[in-house]
């Protein structure tokens, strides 16, 4: 994995209202480096493609791409890429007094209560979801 080249994209100086339109404003001449904006640790960041619909309630759909940072410490509530008994999954991490739960964000899927003797590895923490409109 090499150093990512700078990728600057022009940025508007103001936000775009999603309600009523406002008068047009000039565009800003500067840019935003997407690498710096989306990636905090280049050597530990990967993009993974999501398969399935168990996380739609979190805004993550089938075919979306997640930016995953392996250097981040997973916390209660993090969306994580986990390996449970050799199987990859994307779920919300919940740490309870009873143990670890991997929660889908779609009522069609059950919570995964991780048995104490299971082989669970939190591969990385999702920081962004990229999807087409």
Residue 87's CATH number = 2.10.109.10
- R_g of the chain, CA atoms, integer Å: 18
The rounded distance, in Å, linking the Cα atoms of 93 and 126 is 11
Q: Domain range spanning residue 126?
A: 46-130
Inside any domain, residue 55: yes
Give this prediction's pTM: 0.78
pLDDT digits (tens, 9 = 90+) for 47-79: 999 999 999 999 999 999 999 999 999 999 999
Give the other-Cβ count within 10 Å of 125's Cβ: 20
Inside any domain, residue 61: yes
Catalytic residue among 12, 15, 40, 91, which? Answer: 91
pLDDT digits (tens, 9 = 90+) for 23-48: 555 555 567 777 787 888 888 999 99
Inside any domain, residue 120: yes
The rounded distance, in Å, linking the Cα atoms of 95 and 120 is 13
Inside any domain, residue 10: no
Inside any domain, residue 73: yes
Inside any domain, residue 17: no
Exposed/middle/buried for 70, CB within 10 Å: 0-12, 13-18, 19+?
A: middle
First to last CA, the chain: 29
Q: Let me know if 54 is a catalytic residue.
A: yes
Domain count, the chain: 1
Q: Let me know if 40 is a catalytic residue.
A: no
Catalytic residue among 54, 71, 78, 118, which? Answer: 54
């Amino acid at each position: 994995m090499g150093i990512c080249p700078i990728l600057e994209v022009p940025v508007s100086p103001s936000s775009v209202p999603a309600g009523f339109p406002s008068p047009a404003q000039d565009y800003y001449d500067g840019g935003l480096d997407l690498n710096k904006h989306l990636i905090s640790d280049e050597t530990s960041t990967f993009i993974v493609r999501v398969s399935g619909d168990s996380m739609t309630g979190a805004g993550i759909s089938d075919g979306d791409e997640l930016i995953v940072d392996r250097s981040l410490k997973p916390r209660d509530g993090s969306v994580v890429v986990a390996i449970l008994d050799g199987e990859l999954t994307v779920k919300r991490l919940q740490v309870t007094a009873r143990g670890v739960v991997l929660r889908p964000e779609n009522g069609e899927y059950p919570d995964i209560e991780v048995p104490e003797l299971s082989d669970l590895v939190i591969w990385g923490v999702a920081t962004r979801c990229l999807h087409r409109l």
